[in-house]
A and B are shown apart, each in its own frame.
Chain A
């Protein structure tokens, strides 16, 4: 979209140079060629997967990495399309809103890895005998880990478009299409880019988990870093796992440098505040902006997009639209239909589970859910006890924070499930208690969210408060309790919500792990879902996923929401 808003080249004299041209051309060529090579395999017949199985030769890793990255990109594109349509519909339609927003809330709470088996079968059915089906299933899994919070952020931005800008666009009679691209999307952009980053860093976890799927007796191993690790686990090859970790690290760094850093810097121009601000830097964006080659290549695009902006689309006569949207009869009809659909799906789900399972089974699921809940709660408390003080200490030292913050973000993005085999190897070797020692795996990746949010909070903390506290010589405990903890509370809650959501999801892969032929299970709902998936036991998967969703929703509603609201109400610093 950079092109939509960039002025013609004649307006912005820049320093162009051959070096920048060469660098930009080289990098872009590299990106396009590798993406092209990677996508060829996507359309191959399914049989190629068994004729060319994933090999543990490190030389193959770059290719696997490209395949993994492609899946991520495809999922991100799908998530953006979803965001623009779903978010817009929810924000603009009075009738759709009360249905779509609670639905989004529930979808956010459903453990993605739990329903992998269903979507897998669905997509394989769409493209029988093609790799594409399995690919789409994997992409869909990543999509479901990314789309919800992006759509939600877009919806919220649309609902909070500043009143004066709204009036200006209306009074200058912007057509809906132009209003969308010139007012709404730009206004939503900073929040959307931030959420894309969060989604992406969560997504690596799921791309790794969804590449090697086995449901019942069907095994599909898509070429990628995730399946490379799966094969390494099966063959008990620890050095291959080391290679995979290295490859993943490089992929995340490249992704950050070539995609997200430029995006963040670019999105800064959409900030609504009118003050000038120090902007973070992206060398790649700089190269693109300074390269005349890129400018020239982009100019037909730019003109095309400008023309597209002028197209009058979606411009029904307002008077007619209003009459349609205010009709009471349609209201009754609509809400009636929603209610009927709701009752019908509840009926189907209950009948399905009741027919196949007994009430004792439901009790078991709840008991196991309580175990997992206990684990998540204890882990959040422990992680907070360690990382909140650490985050404060780092955040209050700007020089240090500057260096640690990107590292914390990187660690949050790094798929912790790549590290599981190492931990499992140790657990097997020392014969540790599974119920205790498998638990830390759940929070291995997600605790970083606590750290970097707390660092952000401490960095933003006003210095005059600190100076006042120092001046009045607050004592250590009083300082924590009255000065710093209230100040970073909202940031901490944001981080903890993300961390606990991630931990629930991770429980499905963390409570049930394997090393070679050894399979280890902790007692918990995650292990229950994982075992049911491996056995292809659908009623139990449905039950497990439903119970886990319920637990997550209740956890959010009864704990995090009130805490967040409390922080918003009483502990805001502005």
Chain B
């Protein structure tokens, strides 16, 4: 199987003049307090004609931002994107995009939606109509020309999205998680249809670049997969997939590649927070995801029970919980940070305290959670300390929010504080009154009476 896996440099990029060249692209967002947050760092790759390339990564790794830079919707802070040697600074002819949310104009019919892109290019009316109708036929929407998007199912709407992109005859098709808003069956049909059209050379497009967080989808469709790591977003690995289409998900060769990518993605996670003491990794201003305490406790429960009995492969656990791997990563990461679990080589192991948490009853859980929270999440300990030091034992939310904003930016600070507030309330480490936006050491409803 080693032949199917290549490393950066071996891919088709080496040959010929690339269709698209991403040249050391960086993207930073300014923080309110000055300075900036790096979202994308030194992204550098090329796209040749005839290939489908996948950008694979967890949510928040900047892959959608990268796609928007290539589409000309967002500008790069440094570096540039060259399309046929021309720098992209705004949306250009020759690149079209398919959106995760379909982004159809609800007040236009299918035909009008598809034709709108041609109208924008001043294609004469009869020609535009002819081309739009043929694109609609190609993508399997004949008979729905005069339907409005809200009359269609999700899968049909995304077909309109594809028709709208294909009709302008782009050289490069960008796809932003185009199947993730669809149910499993519909998504699979649409993927296969698209691959069929592509392999039968019925499409005028020269290359496809798609963003996804679904590993199997990437292996199913792409000739080359770029795995992105987060914070800041970087290209961590490049994997070539040379299986012929149509691909069989159950074939051993397919599974090997999927497992290899799982391994790489979890390996990318492990060294950051894994083997070392978890407490030392989170600082006062570490960004934290909003994951409810019950979900973390629920994860330890599931891990402790059969069939896992204390450790589980992430992919198996994800399937068991009906979660996608990216979603499970986040919960696992928090469980690891709190010291309830440990992630090694794609396998999640319950720690001793994790087992204790799973075994304890409802009353004791919050106490155990509190001990870990105060030890491993400096922000929670900090809020607690401030409340203890103040004579009133109260502090407004804004006091902490402003401090966090200096380091994290408005959105992330809001997010992080919300996460810690939830955990702190669950553990009864402190209390919070939403109406007054006030933290307190004692129960607010007892202060009143």
The residues of A with any CB-CB pair to B shorter than 8 Å are 5, 7, 11-12, 162, 164-165, 167-168, 170-175, 178, 182-183, 186, 189, 269-276, 306, 309-310, 312, 318-319, 570
Select A168's contact among B72, B103, B122, beta carbons within 8 Å: B103
Residue interface mask B118-151, A partner, CB < 8 A = 1: 0111100100000000000000000001101111
With a cutoff of 8 Å between Cβ atoms, the chain B residues found around residue A272 in the complex are 106
Question: Are A182 and B73 in contact, CB atoms less than 8 angstroms apart?
Answer: no
Select B151's contact among A7, A175, A189, A276, beta carbons within 8 Å: A276
With a cutoff of 8 Å between Cβ atoms, the chain A residues found around residue B149 in the complex are 274
With a cutoff of 8 Å between Cβ atoms, the chain A residues found around residue B105 in the complex are 165, 168, 182-183, 186
With a cutoff of 8 Å between Cβ atoms, the chain B residues found around residue A312 in the complex are 122
| A164, A272, A276 — most chain B CB neighbours (10 Å) | A164
- Of chain B, the residue at the smallest CB distance from A174 is B120
CA distance A570 to B125 in the complex (A): 52
With a cutoff of 8 Å between Cβ atoms, the chain A residues found around residue B112 in the complex are 5, 7
Question: Are B435 and A12 in contact, CB atoms less than 8 angstroms apart?
Answer: no
- Of chain B, the residue at the smallest CB distance from A175 is B120
Residue interface mask B75-108, A partner, CB < 8 A = 1: 0000000000000011111011101111111111
Known pairs A167-B68, A182-B105, A182-B116; A7 contacts B73 (CB<8 A): no
Select A270's contact among B106, B111, B120, B125, beta carbons within 8 Å: B106
CA distance A420 to B163 in the complex (A): 62
Question: Are B99 and A168 in contact, CB atoms less than 8 angstroms apart?
Answer: yes
CA distance A192 to B164 in the complex (A): 29
Q: Write the nearest CB–CB distance from A485 to chain B, whole angstroms.
A: 17
Select A172's contact among B89, B96, B100, beta carbons within 8 Å: B96
Question: Are B108 and A167 in contact, CB atoms less than 8 angstroms apart?
Answer: no
Having A165-B105, A168-B105, A170-B73, one finds 18 other A-B pairs with CB under 8 Å, namely A7-B112, A7-B146, A11-B146, A12-B146, A168-B99, A171-B71, A171-B97, A172-B91, A173-B92, A173-B120, A174-B120, A182-B108, A186-B107, A189-B107, A269-B106, A269-B148, A270-B106, A271-B106
- Of chain A, the residue at the smallest CB distance from B154 is A274
Dominant SS at the B interface? loop
With a cutoff of 8 Å between Cβ atoms, the chain A residues found around residue B111 in the complex are 7, 11
Which 7 A/B pairs are nearest by Cβ-Cβ distance? A168-B103, A164-B103, A172-B117, A186-B107, A11-B146, A164-B101, A270-B107
The residues of B with any CB-CB pair to A shorter than 8 Å are 68, 71-73, 89-93, 95-97, 99-109, 111-112, 116-117, 119-122, 125, 145-146, 148-151, 157, 164, 168, 435
Dominant SS at the A interface? helix
- Of chain B, the residue at the smallest CB distance from A276 is B150
Select B168's contact among A172, A182, A183, A318, beta carbons within 8 Å: A172
With a cutoff of 8 Å between Cβ atoms, the chain B residues found around residue A171 in the complex are 71-73, 91, 95-97
Known pairs A7-B109, A318-B90; A172 contacts B73 (CB<8 A): no
With a cutoff of 8 Å between Cβ atoms, the chain A residues found around residue B168 in the complex are 172
- Of chain B, the residue at the smallest CB distance from A185 is B107
With a cutoff of 8 Å between Cβ atoms, the chain B residues found around residue A168 in the complex are 97, 99, 103-105
With a cutoff of 8 Å between Cβ atoms, the chain A residues found around residue B91 in the complex are 170-173
Question: Are A167 and B103 in contact, CB atoms less than 8 angstroms apart?
Answer: yes
- Of chain A, the residue at the smallest CB distance from B128 is A310
CA distance A11 to B109 in the complex (A): 10
Select A310's contact among B97, B103, B119, B145, beta carbons within 8 Å: B119
Known pairs A11-B146, A173-B121, A276-B151; A167 contacts B99 (CB<8 A): yes
Question: Are B97 and A269 in contact, CB atoms less than 8 angstroms apart?
Answer: no
| A175, A182, A271, A319 — most chain B CB neighbours (10 Å) | A182
CA distance A171 to B91 in the complex (A): 5
CA distance A178 to B122 in the complex (A): 11
Question: Are B435 and A570 in contact, CB atoms less than 8 angstroms apart?
Answer: yes
CA distance A269 to B147 in the complex (A): 12
11 A/B residue pairs, CB under 8 Å, sorted by A: A5-B108, A162-B103, A164-B99, A167-B71, A168-B105, A171-B96, A172-B117, A172-B164, A182-B108, A274-B149, A318-B90
CA distance A5 to B107 in the complex (A): 8
Select B119's contact among A170, A178, A183, beta carbons within 8 Å: A178
